[in-house]
Structure 1
C-alpha cells in the first residue's frame, strides 16, 4: 500500500475549510487514492478553530525565530468517511483565521504579511510531523500552491529535515497569480527573521521583480520533483510571458516553468469533477431559494451596508415567481479581475447582453461576492436593468439551483487554470459560453458541448463574445434540435477524477 500526504491551505473534505477550487481538489484526490486501495493523509492549518472537536495526536517542537515553538497535530472528522483517508489540522495560536472564508488574510499595505507567518509555522510543523513519523512512512508528499511550498525550502536547506529528501515531492499550481512574495530580511514577516540559523542560497529563491524577496510560488516550481498545472492548455499558457489583458501566461515565472518542462518535471493534467452523491435541489426552486438566501443575508450584521440592495433584489426576483422567464443565463464566481475583467472594463458589452436577453424574455442571474469595485459595478447595473438579478452573497443551495435551472452558463474568465463551474454546469446538461483560455479550452468545445470565444486583441475578444452570445441565443430560439444536441453532449462529457488520478500515478507520482 502506497502512502500519501497532502499539505494545503484548504481541504473541503472537512467542514468550513474551503475558499476556492483548491479545497475541492484536496477533498477529491485523496478519495480517489482510497478507491485505488492506497492511503492518504491530508493536513491543513487549524486557523484557530478547526481543531476544536479533534483528537490530539502529538505535540510538535521545532525552532523558529531562534526559539522553540510548540504546535499541536489533531486528527479531525471528515464530512464523509473513506477507508484509509485521514484528516489532520495543525494548531498554533499564531495561525489565525483571516477575513477571506475564515482562512486567508488580505493585507493591502504589505501583501502576504500575515499569511506568510501562518504558513511558515504550518510548514515547519508539518516537516517536524513527517520527521517524527506522525503520518507513518510516506511515499509521496503532494503540496498545493505557495502556502505549502516552504516544505521544499526546508527539505533543501534545513539540516534538521534532510530526511525529507527520501520522499518524492509533487507541487500543484492552482493560481499562479498569487505568489507569496516576502522580503529575505529586515521585516518581521521575512524569511531571515523566521529562519535565522539556516544558510540558504538567495539565487535559488529570488523573486525576479523584487530581488530582495523570496517568491514562494517559484520555490515550489524550482524545487519540486514534479510540477503540475491543473489543465493541459494552462500548462502551455504559463510557459509564455503574460501581456495583460490580451493574454495571461506565466506571470513572471515563465522561465522557471520552461526550465521545469525541459527537465521533464512539468505536467498539465485536468482536474476532475464529482459525478456521484450529488446534492440535488428540486427543480423550480431557484426563485424561492434566492428569496430565502436574501432574507438570511438581511439578518447579518456584516451585510447591513447593502441591506437596501438586497431588498431591491428580493423585490425584483418576486416578479419571476409566477411569470417565469423563457431563458436564464447564469454566472457563479468570486467577483475578481480574473472572472469579470471584461465586464468591468466594458460594462457597455454586458449591458448589450442584457438588451439581447430582453428581446427573448431572458434574464441574467449573477451570484457572488468579492472586490468592492466589482460589487459596486454590478449593484449599479442591477438598479438600471430589470432583467439582471445580482445576488450579492453566498448560498450553496441557490448555487445548486442555478446550475440546475439555467439555460446557459456564462464564464468570461480572463484566464482559467482549470475551472470547475463549467464542469458542474455541463454535468446538469447546461451548455456554457466561455472565453477560450486555459482549462476552458480543454472542457468546452465550441458548437459541440457549448460555445467559446477568443480574439487577438481585447476589442476583438469583446466583439467575438457578443457575436458568440448571438449565436447561442439564435440556436436556442430557432434551432431546437441543435440546442438539444449541444445540451446532450454537455451532459455526456465526463471529466472524472479516476482518469485524472490514473494520470497522476503515472507521471506525477511515478507509480
Structure 2
C-alpha cells in the first residue's frame, strides 16, 4: 500500500510540538509494517542541510517550486520549497496564505514525480487544501485533527484567490465558515475518513464546549461513520529512561533518585518532592491555573517549569522564579526536558482540553506520576491507579489533586507501586499504526 502523509512539520527536521513528533514516528512504523510511505512537508529556510533536489518548476499560485528528497528508516521524506517559506522560523501571521501556496504545490509536485498514493493522509489545517485537491483529483484521502482550536481561517473575500478552488466549493457545505475561508473545514469536508488523536477527544469535539464552532459538522460526520479517534503512540526508543543519553539511565526507583538529585542541584531546590511541567505556555494547557495554584503548591512541592509561549504567562513565572521552590526555564530545551521527566517525582498537566498529549505518556515511562485534568487523551492514557486526575479546570481542583499526590508520596510503597505500573505501560506506535493501515484499507 502506498501511503502519503502531508503535514506542516516532521521530527527531526522541523518541530514545534506533538504534530512533528507524530510524523517523526508513525510513518517509520507503518513502513516497518510493510507500507510504502512518503511524507510531504514544507522546506523551511531555518532547516539545516540540503535534501537531494528531484524536481523544480513553476506552479500557479505558488511560484517557483522545488522538491527535495531524504530517505530515513524506510520512509521517503519529500520536502517542498516555495518562496513563501524562505524566511526564518516555522509559523507566521500570514500562514493561511503561505499554506494555500503549499497546498497548491503538492499535487503538481507528486504528479511530476509520478507519485500516486493509494491513500493521502492530511494532518491538521495546514494540509486541508491538499486534501481538497486530492478529492478533486479522485484520490482517497484521510484527515487527522490534531488540535481543533487552530483552523486556518481568513476572510474569504481576500483568501478566495489564494486557494485556486472552483467556485462551487466556497459555500457553507464547502470551505466557507461564517464569511471566512477555513482550511480545517476543507479537510473535514473533503476527506472520506476523519480521525482525532484520542477516542475521548473524538467525542468531546461533537459538543459546543470543545467543538470550536464546528460541532454541528462533526456530529454529522460521526453519524455518517466518518469520524473516529485513534490514540497517538509514543516513540519509545527516543523516550526510554534505560538508554536516554541526556540523563543518568535507570530502570527503577533507585536510579530515578539519582536524576532527582541532579535536577535538585541544577536549580538549587530543597528536599521537598519535585513537581515538573514541560509545556507550551498557553491557556489550553492550563498554565494560568498552575500559576494561580502556586501559593499552595509551594507549601508541599518544588515546582520546575520548562516552556515558552504566552509572554504574560512567562512573565508571571519569571516573577515566581525568585521563590526558592520555583524554577522556570523559558523556551524549548530538549535535553532539559529529558532531565525534568527523569528528575521530577510528579508531573502536572492541568489542560483545559488535550487532544492526546505526549507528556503524560513520557512522564509515566520515566516513573513520574502525572497529575492531569480529566479531558481528551489524558483520560485515555492515565490510569487512576498510576496518576491523579481531577475534573474541573480550576486552580483549586489542581491544588487538591496535588495534595492527594503529596499524601500518597508519603507512602513510598504505594508510590513506587504506581511508578512501576506506569513504567510498564505500552504506548508503542505499532497498535495505532495498524489501526491507521486498517482505516486506509477501508478506503
- Note closer, same or farther for the CA distance 1:483–1:43 as it changes in structure 2 (3 Å cut): same
Once the 2 structures are TM-superposed, how far is the Cα of residue 199 of structure 1 from its aligned partner? Answer: 5.1
Residue aligning to 1:233: 200
Which whole-Å CA distance do the structure 2 matches of 1:93 and 1:125 have between them?
A: 11
- The structural deviation recorded for 1:438 is 0.3
Secondary structure, aligned partner of 1:499:
helix
Q: How big is the shift at 1:407? A: 0.6
Q: What do the CA deviations read for 1:82-132 (whole angstroms, capped 9, x no partner)?
A: 12x11111112222445xxx1001x3xxxxxx1112111111111112333
Unaligned runs of 5+ residues in structure 2 are 249-257
Alpha-carbon distance in structure 2 between the residues aligned to 1:287 and 1:398: 14
Q: TM-score, normalised by structure 1?
A: 0.79
1:469 match? 402
How many aligned positions are there?
A: 430
State the structure with more CA Rg. Answer: 1
User: Once the 2 structures are TM-superposed, how far is the Cα of residue 433 of structure 1 from its aligned partner?
Assistant: 0.5
Is the contact made by 1:234 and 1:417 (CA closer than 8 Å) also made in structure 2?
A: yes
Q: What does residue 400 of structure 1 align with?
A: 338
- CA shift digits 1:303-347 (9 cap, x unpaired): xxxxxxxxxxx8xx2x34xxx624111000111111135427xx4
What residue number does 2:425 align with?
493
Unaligned runs of 5+ in 1: 108-113, 157-161, 243-248, 292-313, 358-362
Residue 415 of structure 2 is aligned to residue 483 of structure 1: yes
Per the alignment, residue 139 of structure 1 pairs with 118
Asked if structure 1 preserves the Cα contact closer than 8 Å seen for 2:104 and 2:163, the reply is no
CA contact (8 A) 2:143 2:187 kept: yes
Aligned partner (choices 259, 268, 271) of residue 325 of structure 1: 271
Q: 1:95 to 1:128 in 2, by over 3 A?
A: same
- Find out whether 1:53 has 2:50 as its counterpart: yes
Give the distance between the partners of 1:289 and 1:338, measured in 2 at CA.
27
Q: Distance in 2 between matches of 1:404 and 1:467?
A: 24
**Using the alignment, how far apart are the partners of 1:52 and 1:467 within structure 2?**
49
TM-score, normalised with respect to structure 2: 0.91
Q: Which residue of 2 aligns with 1:25?
A: 22
CA separation of 1:199/1:436 partners in 2, compared to 1, >3 Å: closer, same or farther? closer
Shift in CA distance, 196/264, structure 1 to aligned 2, threshold 3 Å: closer
Q: Which residue of 1 aligns with 2:312?
A: 373
Shift of the 483–61 alpha-carbon distance from structure 1 to 2, 3 Å rule, reads same
Q: 1:350 aligns with which of 276, 288, 294?
A: 294
State yes or no: 1:339 paired with 2:277: no
**1:192-341 alignment to 2 at 5 Å?**
192-193=161-162, 195=164, 200-208=169-177, 211-242=178-209, 249-277=210-238, 278=240, 279-283=244-248, 284=258, 317=267, 319-320=268-269, 325-341=271-287
Asked whether the equivalents of residues 51 and 76 of structure 1 are also in contact (C-alpha less than 8 Å), the reply is: no
CA distance in structure 2 between the aligned counterparts of 1:52 and 1:82, rounded to whole angstroms: 18
Aligned residue for 2:389? 452
